[in-house]
């Protein structure tokens, strides 16, 4: 590895970690609520994901 370019792999790891947290949080908030969380409100900044494909013709 070239000295001075160590920030590139570190940046890739940080961006990947943040993406995993973001995608995981969206999936968790849109999944069935675990025991004790049935009445929890979904935050406004989490997008609503549905099972239906809006572009499909059924």
Cβ neighbours of residue 49 closer than 8 Å, sequence gap 6 or more: 26, 30
Whether 27 is in a domain gets the answer yes
pLDDT digits (tens, 9 = 90+) for 3-44: 678 888 999 999 999 999 999 988 887 777 667 777 778 778
Checking if the pLDDT of 2 tops 60, the result is no
Whether 15 is in a domain gets the answer yes
Checking if the pLDDT of 46 tops 70, the result is yes
Domain ranges, residue 29: 10-33+40-47
Q: Which residue has the higher pLDDT, 58 or 21?
A: 21
Q: Are 29 and 46 spatial neighbours (Cβ–Cβ below 8 Å)?
A: yes
The predicted structure's pLDDT at residue 48 = 80
User: Do you know the residue count of the chain?
Assistant: 58
- pLDDT category at 54 given cuts 50, 70, 90 is low
Whether 56 is in a domain gets the answer no
Number of domains in the chain: 1
Q: Are 46 and 25 spatial neighbours (Cβ–Cβ below 8 Å)?
A: yes
Whether 55 is in a domain gets the answer no
Burial of 46 (0-12, 13-18, 19+ CB in 10 A): middle
């Amino acid at each position: 590895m070239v000295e001075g370019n160590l920030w590139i792999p570190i940046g890739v790891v940080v961006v990947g970690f943040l993406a995993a947290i973001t995608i995981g949080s969206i999936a968790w908030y849109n999944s069935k609520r675990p025991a004790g969380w049935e009445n929890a409100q979904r935050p406004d900044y989490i997008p609503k994901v549905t099972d239906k494909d809006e572009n499909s013709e059924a």
